[in-house]
């Protein structure tokens, strides 16, 4: 055993030495190239434009370092030749694209991927995206989005992993690994870009691009962790956010970009602005003009400018005026060149123009996309076990999302092709006798003219399946909403189907958590699918037929009403928590005393709690947790919390449960959250099977930024839950000394 360990150590040392040598070689090549560059050529590397053929002259003159939004390999090779063969130094371009949840084969939107609680599957999806995108010549994607989002009015909740920092870390790291693979120079490596740094998801009122008010402690405890984890996992690039933090736009915030990112975290990758976020500092009132914005951005620590054109127009003059140092320019260009060397672009700048169509929609890619869509779907309601529907039964299928191939792909699916989308209507025929009666033409359609025909047709069916939700355009960037109810006449359609007396199943296909509690009263079952992508139809058909069993869990709290937002499970403790006693609006007696309602934290109209909690999701079976124990009730900070418990499938179907582990720090030097997710695992059980499970949670994972802005585990009393969602289970007590 000692010999084997020694051999493994030698191998590890050899690998480490090789990586170090490669890094030294790259740094040497960067310095040698940098010494040959004029100031104009350096600034050119810092300029990113959304252009292809039309930018060839600028590229040939060394005035462009990166292009975005070109995906034709023929065009990419043409502009790359201009850079490599016509520019003075032959520095290749870095080609980028928003590849957010797939390139050709579209996976569920990121919030749907987060619903899987399956990092391995998410990593596989990112790898598929990288293989397909790099085959077209794209070597850099602006993903993953790591913004913690606690307000579903914000349209970009679709693009992230929801409200929880721990889940955000797991999903983000998985995507970084999937995009980049094991070898940066591999032609299928697509550089990840962690975004938006930082706090963008905390936009006031859920209104996109809006201001944020975040303390440094909240930044460090909530908004930083996923960025730090992804950088430690090797993320090659980072994007600044549009918003300000404490009055400082992120693109001009040297504390964020230099003190935290570079000095504290040791990031040696490249920093890029979001689209014109440098220029938009003028509208913020933080910069006088584009020249001023350029000075602020570069001095703050930005390396590359996306689409403001300020760097290329003004950086040289700023150096000549002494407002920018050439050493600062050099530092930025080093980061850009290092990335290009790491990706092997100098050795392999071109792409095989025949490859893109060969890898797109490969069978294994479609299979992975289907599995992701299956695991992302969340069963919210299943009265009397209406689901799964009997195979071979007759079902009426209606609703605007039943056959909407474009909408099913969701936001940021630039390169998905709707002709390859399998819709539910196409797929259900493999399992059922389908009667299709179109009613609403799209989700905002308010016409009820076709409802009567659907009601008549329901008489011939065993059950009704209504597909409702949101078109793709209703979520994503710049698509905020103040009303989260179903749009158009969709609620009326569900009510009309309920009037038939047939079992009614509602399938929601949407880009965000909607407020559908009122619709739950008019149906028997609800299956929620965040825009599921190319293979969503087959996945949903398999779930409805029981070929697959739902296992998805909510990555965001589902509200009763948009007026509750922002509402999140891991909120700080309050001095007057609601104890479950609520006097609601219609129960208040006339002339009630000012303090007669209890003076606790809740809404008079919606009460305290949400409709459904974070982590919630039903199955076609039930699970029982039992015999939960900790091996110690008193632990040291260097210990592991050893958790033992039994999980039993008490139903009649094989299924997967997402086991969730939560902790509460009862007393801290600053107010602590009521609960925090600290771990999860996917466990598959056969009917009646019991598994004895164990989980080791490091006590060090209980650390937070305390009153003195120190990252420590504070001694004291804690509680721990192991359950199927954030609102279930009974706690065990333990002490950290």
Taking a C-beta distance cutoff of 8 angstroms, is the pair 290, 310 a contact?
yes
Strand order in the sheet with 690-698: 623-630, 640-649, 690-698
Q: Bridge partners of 722?
A: 661
Length of the chain, please? 737
* C-alpha gyration radius of the chain: 27
Q: How many Cβ atoms from other residues are within 10 Å of residue 706's Cβ?
A: 17
CA distances, 182 to each of 171, 172, 190 (Å): 18, 16, 11
CA distances, 280 to each of 140, 238, 244, 260, 613 (Å): 24, 18, 11, 23, 37
Q: How many Cβ atoms from other residues are within 10 Å of residue 707's Cβ?
A: 10
Phi-psi category of 525—alpha, beta or left, where left has phi over 0 and alpha has psi -120 to 50?
Answer: beta
Distance CA 488, CA 468 (A): 10
Q: Among 50, 77, 48, which residue's Cα sits nearest to residue 64?
A: 48
* 658, two tokens: 């997402």
DSSP state of 603: B
Options 274, 305, 415, 665, the catalytic residue: 274
CA distances, 674 to each of 7, 664, 667 (Å): 48, 6, 11
Catalytic annotation on 274? yes
Give the β-pairing of 248-249 and 378-382. Answer: unpaired
Contacts for 657 with CB less than 8 Å, ≥ 6 apart = 551, 619, 623, 647, 649, 682, 683, 685, 724
Phi-psi category of 615—alpha, beta or left, where left has phi over 0 and alpha has psi -120 to 50?
Answer: left
Taking a C-beta distance cutoff of 8 angstroms, is the pair 203, 212 a contact?
yes
Taking a C-beta distance cutoff of 8 angstroms, is the pair 651, 681 a contact?
no
Give the β-pairing of 394-398 and 463-469. Answer: parallel
Distance, first Cα to last Cα, the chain:
36
CA distances, 218 to each of 148, 222, 253, 665 (Å): 11, 5, 17, 16
Distance CA 311, CA 318 (A): 10
Q: Annotated catalytic sites, by residue?
A: 274
């Amino acid at each position: 055993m000692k010999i084997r360990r020694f051999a493994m150590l030698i191998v590890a040392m050899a690998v480490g030495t090789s990586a170090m040598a490669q890094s030294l070689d790259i740094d040497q090549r960067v310095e040698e190239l940098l010494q040959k560059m004029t100031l104009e050529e350096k600034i050119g590397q810092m300029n990113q434009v959304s252009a292809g053929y039309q930018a060839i002259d600028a590229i040939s003159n060394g005035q462009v370092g990166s292009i975005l939004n070109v995906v034709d390999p023929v065009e990419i090779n043409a502009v790359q030749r201009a850079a490599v063969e016509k520019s003075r130094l032959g520095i290749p371009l870095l080609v980028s694209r928003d590849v957010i949840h797939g390139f050709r084969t579209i996976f569920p939107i990121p919030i749907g991927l987060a619903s899987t609680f399956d990092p391995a599957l998410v990593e596989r999806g990112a790898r598929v995206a990288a293989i397909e995108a790099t085959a077209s010549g794209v070597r850099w994607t602006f993903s993953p989005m790591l913004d913690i989002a606690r307000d579903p009015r914000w349209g970009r909740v679709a693009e992230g992993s929801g409200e929880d920092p721990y889940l955000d870390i797991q999903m983000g790291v998985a995507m970084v690994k999937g995009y980049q693979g094991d070898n940066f120079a591999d032609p299928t490596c697509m550089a990840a870009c962690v975004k938006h740094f930082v706090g963008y998801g905390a936009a006031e009122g859920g209104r996109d691009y809006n201001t944020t008010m975040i303390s440094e402690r909240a930044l460090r405890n909530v908004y930083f962790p996923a960025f730090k984890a992804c950088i430690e996992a090797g993320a090659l690039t980072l994007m600044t956010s549009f918003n300000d933090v404490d009055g400082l736009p992120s693109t001009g915030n040297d504390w964020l970009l230099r003190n935290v990112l570079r000095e504290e975290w040791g990031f040696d990758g490249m920093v890029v602005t979001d689209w014109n976020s440098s220029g938009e500092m003028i509208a913020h009132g933080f910069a006088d003009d584009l020249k001023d914005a350029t000075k602020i951005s570069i001095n703050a620590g930005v390396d590359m400018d996306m689409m403001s054109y300020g760097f290329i127009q003004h950086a040289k003059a700023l150096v000549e005026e002494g407002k920018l140092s050439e050493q600062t320019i050099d530092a930025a260009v080093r980061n850009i060149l290092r990335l290009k060397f790491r990706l092997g672009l100098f050795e392999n700048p071109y792409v095989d123009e025949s490859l893109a169509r060969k890898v797109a929609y490969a069978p294994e890619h479609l299979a992975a996309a289907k599995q992701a869509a299956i695991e992302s779907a969340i069963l919210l309601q299943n009265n009397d076990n209406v689901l799964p529907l009997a195979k071979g039964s007759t079902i009426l299928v209606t609703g605007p999302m039943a056959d909407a191939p474009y909408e099913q792909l969701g936001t940021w699916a630039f390169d998905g092709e709707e002709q390859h989308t399998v819709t539910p209507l196409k797929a259900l025929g493999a399992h059922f006798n389908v009667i299709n009666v179109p009613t609403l033409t799209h989700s905002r359609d308010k016409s009820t003219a076709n409802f009567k025909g659907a009601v008549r047709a329901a008489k011939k069916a065993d059950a009704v399946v209504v597909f409702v939700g949101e078109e793709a355009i209703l979520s994503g960037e710049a698509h905020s909403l103040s009303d989260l109810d179903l749009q158009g006449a969709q609620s009326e359609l569900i009510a009309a189907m309920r009037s038939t007396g047939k079992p009614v199943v509602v399938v929601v296909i949407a880009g965000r958590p909607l407020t559908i509690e009122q619709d739950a009263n008019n149906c028997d079952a609800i299956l929620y699918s965040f825009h599921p992508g190319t293979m969503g139809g087959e996945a949903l058909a398999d779930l409805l037929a029981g070929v697959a069993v739902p296992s998805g869990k909510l990555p965001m709290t589902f509200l009763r009403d948009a007026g509750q937002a922002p509402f999140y499970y891991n909120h700080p403790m309050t001095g007057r928590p609601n104890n479950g006693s609520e006097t609601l609006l219609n129960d208040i007696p006339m002339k009630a005393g000012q303090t007669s309602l209890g003076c606790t934290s809740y809404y008079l109209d919606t009460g305290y709690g949400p409709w459904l909690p974070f982590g919630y999701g039903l199955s076609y079976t039930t699970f029982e947790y039992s015999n939960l124990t900790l091996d110690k009730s008193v632990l040291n900070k260097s210990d592991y919390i050893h958790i033992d418990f039994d999980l039993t499938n008490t139903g009649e179907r094989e299924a997967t449960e997402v086991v969730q582990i939560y902790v509460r720090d009862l007393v801290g030097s600053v107010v602590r959250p009521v609960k925090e997710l600290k771990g999860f695992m996917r466990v598959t059980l056969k009917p009646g099977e019991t598994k004895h499970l164990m989980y080791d949670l490091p006590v060090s994972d209980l650390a937070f930024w305390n009153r003195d802005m120190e990252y420590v585990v504070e001694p004291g009393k804690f509680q721990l839950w192991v359950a199927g969602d954030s609102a279930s289970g009974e706690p065990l007590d333990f002490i950290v000394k």
